[in-house]
Amino acid sequence: MRHSIFDTLPESLRSEILGVFQTMHFEHGKILFRAGEPCSGLPLVLSGVVKVQMTGLSGNNIVLYRMGADEICTLSIGCLMTGEGFRAEAVVEEDTEVFMMPRDVFDRLMDQSVGFRRGIMDSYGRRLNDLMLLVEEVAFRRMDERLFCWLEARAGQGFLMITHQELATELGTAREVISRLLKELERKGKLRLARRRIEFTRQFFD
């Protein structure tokens, strides 16, 4: 497996760099890094899914973004460039394989390869735009609107397997808030709730 960021490198540099890389495997539930830890390298995801989330002063979590195959950890880019520790944690959601690029290799490639530097900054810019949209959602939309839109985007299969706590983490609020809003939607006949399951009724789509 290859990561497309290496396609930005000159052939000679690419062969040299790839020769020293090893693939690392992480199982579901593994913590790749925690808030406050120093950043020792740049994870390049080859397969699987990694969730990056932040814990607020209230104790509630919010999912900032997810990394899938051929993606780069934006938080790690920022930490490597500033020298500061992580402000969030990364949790493996699906068994994942990554290349872990050491800090010294990252610094060298940023200095020596214009293509690599542009690829990194393009990735950083796209994710930053997504995070700005998330800030807008959290700051300016009511939670009931955000919840309904989140559910609506995933209602195609007719049901979801998710706990109220997991849904609260997705939206950055308390479980009690999500439970109350879901119960209200159930009262209106739009949902049927069961343990770890949300089922959409015909009325949900009206």
- For the chain, domains (ranges, CATH) are 4-140 (2.60.120.10), 143-205 (1.10.10.10)
The predicted-structure confidence for 147-193, as pLDDT tens digits, reads as follows: 999 999 999 989 999 999 999 999 999 999 999 999 999 999 999 99
The predicted-structure confidence for 18-42, as pLDDT tens digits, reads as follows: 877 778 999 999 999 999 999 989 9
Q: List the one residue out of 90, 93, 104, 87 whose CA is nearest residue 40.
A: 104
d(CA 136, CA 52): 18
Residue 18 has a pLDDT of 80
Residue 26 has a pLDDT of 96
Q: How confident is the model at residue 1 (pLDDT cuts 50, 70, 90)?
A: low
The predicted-structure confidence for 87-134, as pLDDT tens digits, reads as follows: 999 999 999 999 999 999 999 999 999 999 999 999 999 999 999 999
pLDDT > 90? residue 14? no
d(CA 206, CA 200): 11
